Structure 1
Amino acid sequence: MKIQINAPNVDVPEALSEFIESRTHEVLGHFEKHLTRVEIHLKDQNGDKGGVDMHCTVEVRPRGLDPMAVDHTAESEADAVRKALDKMKSALDRRLGRLSER
């Protein structure tokens, strides 16, 4: 499972990058055999204005299925990533669970 971080207008220090990678493995690790790639997109929607504006989109590429994406907006990068990954876990549980029931 390849993890790619895209953040064109967000400074991603090494500590944040390590957090994103470890949290992704922690939350989505048991889906690893089903996923070819996970993309984490971070965007600061308001720039220097502040507020609840850190947007995270998590996109996954399941083998043999269409890509899936979820997003979350929060005050910090870490919170946005954390919540978006939790949403993706739920979405994958539903999608892959339905496939295994067939």
Structure 2
Amino acid sequence: MPHILYGSLASPPTRAVIMTAEELGIKFELKACNLIEGEQFTPEFLRMNPSHTVPTLDDDGFYLFESGAIMTYLVNKYGKDDSLYPKDIKKRATVDQLLNFSTQSFTTCLYVAVS
């Protein structure tokens, strides 16, 4: 069964997951979630992701949300080496720092711009 990524191309976190999957050579089906229409609030979506956010990954019935968690999961599961997510604790901490920075900074800017 292919990976299914629920998201919106207007969402920077969704695009980050797509780029990670492409870098790893992972094939997935992108299911567009129309946030303006409120598709993230449907009972079906809330069963996968009670936080009603995108992106959300369905890996054969294993549901995961939050772009940083999805990206590290994909790299840990499918990465051929540790070039994207190093095993060295200090290098990995730097990657984690940047993952958290981008999530907080860019998403906050997006919400402020839309408000």
Q: Which has the higher helix share?
A: 2
TM-score, normalising length: structure 1: 0.30
Give the number of the structure whose residues are more often strand, by fraction.
1
